[in-house]
Amino acid sequence: MRYTFKIGEELVKVAPRSLADELILAIGEQDCRVVFDHGREGRCTLTLDGRSYESWVARDGDDIYLKMAGHYFKVTAIDPRAAAAGASAGAGAISAPMPGVVVEVLVAEGDIVVEGDKLLTIESMKLQSTVRAACDGVVGRIHVSEGSEFNKDDVLVEIESDD
């Protein structure tokens, strides 16, 4: 079992190849000799094929935030079970394009909708916008209600395809 990590939009598999005195990680297609020191208070030192990288690291659940070489990164550990479930949850799941607040919910669970139907009014950055159905189907779970705050990529509404 290899672990999948998301960096930007890219999914990369990472797995130890050797846990012996020398740690070798397969990162994508590349095998790297790694020495890692989880220093104090989130200060980490990594030696990768002889080159040294300092970083600050903090975790929040599956999200790993780090600052390395003056740049910030967010890496997400993909739960193998969630990833598999997500794949089958279907193209009907509509997620938030950006963080915001729900102004109005315009449909109810079980409603029949066609592509383009209004589902929600949301407000982000003082701008109200409408979330529309991306396909024909039946409204499945609505994960938000009026006034609820959401983050980017949160699933708002699920549309179950009726074919």
Partner 1 sequence: MSAVRSFKKVLVANRGEIAMRILRTLKDLGLQSAVLYHRQEIESPALSFADEAFEVFGDTPVSSYLDIPQIVELCKKHGVDAVHPGYGFLAENAAFVRALDEAGVCFIGPRPEVMNLMGDKIGSRDFVAERGFPIAPSVIDDGDEDKLIASIIEIGFPVLIKASAGGGGKGMQIVREADGLRDIVATAKVEAQRYFGDPRVYAERYIESPRHIEVQVLGDEHGNCVHLWERECSIQRRFQKVIEETPSPALTPELRKDICESAVGIAKATNYTGAGTIEFIFAPNGDYYFLEMNTRIQVEHPITEMVTGVDLVAEQVRIAMGHPLSYSQEEIKQVGHAIECRICAEIPDDDFAPAAGKVLMLRPPVGEGMRFDSGSYEGQKVGTAFDSMIAKLIVHAEDRDAAIARAGEALEQFVLLGVETNSDYLGRLLRHPAFIAGETNTGFIKDHAADLGPDALSADLQTAVLATAALSDRQFVAAMDEVPYPYRLMKEWRN
Partner 2 sequence: MRRIQSRVNVNSPEYQENLKANEVRLGEFHRRQNAARHERPQRDLDRLERQGKMLPRERLEMLLDPGTPFLELSTLAAGEHYDGDSPSASCITGIGIVCGREVLIHANDSTVKGGAWYPMTIKKIVRAMDIAIENHLPVIHLCDSAGGFLPLQSELFGDKYFAGRIFRNQAILSKMGCKQLSLVFGHCTAGGAYVPALSDYSVIVRGTGAVFLGGPPLVKAATGEEVTVEELGGADMHTSVSGTCDYPADTEEEAIAIGREIVAQWSKKKKWDAQQQAPEAPYYDPKELYGIIPANIKTQFDMMEVIARVVDGSRFHEYQPAYGKTLICGFAHIWGYKVGIIGNNGILFNDSSKKAAHFIQLCNQNKTPLVFLQNITGYMVGREYEREGITKDGAKMIMVQAGSEVPKFTIMTNGSYGAGNYGMCGRAFDSRFLFSWPNSEISVMGGEQAAKTLATIKTTQLEREGKTLSDEERAKIYSDVTDDYEHQSSAYYTSSLIWDDGIIDPADTRNALGMAIATAMNAPIEDPRYGVLRV
Site residues (vs partner 2, CB under 8 A): 1-2, 15-19, 24, 26, 80-81, 83-85, 87-88
Minimum distance from CB of 23 to partner 2 (Å)? 9
What separation in angstroms does the CA of 95 have from each of 80, 137, 163?
20, 16, 22
Query: Looking at 85-93, 97-105, 107-115, 133-141, which segment touches partner 1 (CB under 8 A)?
Result: 97-105
Out of 64, 93, 106, 135, the only residue in the binding site for partner 1 (CB under 8 A) is 64
Q: Decide which of partner 2, partner 1, none touches 75; Cβ closer than 5 to 8 Å per partner kind.
A: partner 1
Closer residue to partner 2 in complex, CB, 16/116:
16
Task: State the virtual CA torsion across 132, 135, 139, 145 in degrees, nearest 10.
Answer: -20
What separation in angstroms does the CA of 143 have from each of 39, 96, 150?
40, 11, 10
Query: Does 103 contact partner 1 by CB under 8 A?
Result: no
Burial of 108 (0-12, 13-18, 19+ CB in 10 A): exposed
What's 133's DSSP letter?
Answer: -
Closer residue to partner 2 in complex, CB, 19/108:
19
Closer residue to partner 1 in complex, CB, 24/134:
24
75 and 27 Cβ atoms separated by less than 8 Å = no
Residue 2 CA to residue 6 CA, distance in Å, equals 13
Q: Decide which of partner 1, partner 2, none touches 34; Cβ closer than 5 to 8 Å per partner kind.
A: partner 1
Minimum distance from CB of 144 to partner 1 (Å)? 14
Q: Decide which of partner 2, partner 1, none touches 151; Cβ closer than 5 to 8 Å per partner kind.
A: partner 1
